Amino acid sequence: MLQEKKSTLQEHSKKFLYDLKQLHINFDKTQVYPRYDNFDSAIFDNERKLIFSSSDTKIKLDKILYLHDKVIHLVNIPESYYLGAKYVIIKVKDDGLWLKQTRKEIILFVSLTFVFMMAVGYVLLRLFLKPMRDAIQLLDRFIKDTTHELNTPVSTIVANIEMIDKSSLDEKLLKKINRIDIGAKTISNIYQDLTYLTLGNKIMANDEDLNIEQVVLERIEYFNSLATAKKVSLKIEIIQNTSLYIDKGKFSKLLDNLISNAIKYNKIKGSIIIRVEARKISVEDSGIGIAEEDISQMLERYTRFNKSSGGFGIGLNIVASIAKEYSLDIDIQSELKVGTTVSVSW
């Protein structure tokens, strides 16, 4: 900044020395030292005594160019001592424009550097994450292909078991068929969950006014063999029948996961009560329960608090995603070794 101002100050100094010289040559006691509107000046003799100053500022004669109290000083030693002046000082106020310009340049430099670093970081991030992204895509394709291949055999097993007349079977064969039925339905539930996770956003919804009691009765019949295998009783309480405008497949998936969890985490000879009320359905079990501090994490994907039972920790996350899609409210009440009640209201 000082170097940029130096040339201007030197021009002022030349003008002041010229006028001082003219005053020296044509000396008249009635005349005064030169004064200017655009800069101040001062002169000192060879003993550094002040002869004249157009402003009251402290002056240092041991520096040639310096800034003091927002005033720029240029100290010049002329070749001739006009009117006894050995030191000529030119003073101008610092207008601060250099600081504003410097700030703009700094901001511009920082902004460009930030954009450059962001671009470099983005490129490097893509390069570093490419192996992980490829692995995730490979896993995603594997899950989709696997679930697609599972569909036909599982559906065939379930359909054929349902067509068997179990009343004509002896007790040993009936137990074997029931085990096959339970296994097939378990695989079918896993298949449906994986299908929803991988293709949920691509599945076309067919929303309708759904009779909740009818759907509950259908799902209880479906899970009856699983509940019977664990000696868990399934009960339904219709306090008030209600309806909901929703896709039947998605509501069935929501209810299936609630009933499946209630069976899975129940105790032997436990009970499950499904209540249908006005704009509300709840599934209450007499199972192991869950600690109060863990309830808030139950809807997160892959979260499991009991490793002894099978599962991937995706059931309640599917429930939460369907509830979010249709603006349903989920409430979970649980107590360790007493049971859990999950309510869905609208």
List the chain domain ranges.
2-95, 104-186, 204-345
Annotate 311-345 with b (16+ C-beta within 10 A) or e (fewer): beebbbbbbbbbbeebebebeeebeeeebbbbbbe
Among 83-92, 172-181, 201-210, 274-283, the range scoring the smallest mean pLDDT is 201-210
Distance CA 255, CA 218 (A): 11
- Side chain identity at 63, as an amino acid letter? K
CA–CA distance, 225 with 220 (Å, rounded to integer): 9
Count other Cβ atoms within 10 Å, centred on residue 227: 20
Per-position DSSP letters for 268-319, written without gaps between them: TT-EEEEEEETTEEEEEE-S----GGGGGGTTSTT--S-SSS---S-HHHHH
Q: Which of 20-34, 186-200, 221-235, 266-280 is predicted with the least confidence, judged by mean pLDDT? A: 186-200
Which single residue is written with the structure tokens 């339904």?
236
Question: pTM of this prediction?
Answer: 0.55
Q: How many other CB atoms sit within 10 Å of the CB of residue 84?
A: 13
Residue 212's CB: how many other CB atoms inside 10 A? 21
Question: How many CB atoms lie under 10 A from the CB of residue 4?
Answer: 9
The reported pLDDT for the residue numbered 296 is 84
| Reported confidence tier of residue 97, pLDDT bands at 50, 70, 90 | confident
The yes-or-no verdict on residue 72 having pLDDT over 60 is: yes
Q: Which CATH architecture does the domain made up of 204-345 adopt?
A: 2-Layer Sandwich (3.30)
Position 42 scores a pLDDT of: 93
Q: Kind and range of the H or E element at 88?
A: strand 87-93
Q: What percent of the chain has pLDDT over 70?
A: 94
Q: State both tokens at 37.
A: 């509107």
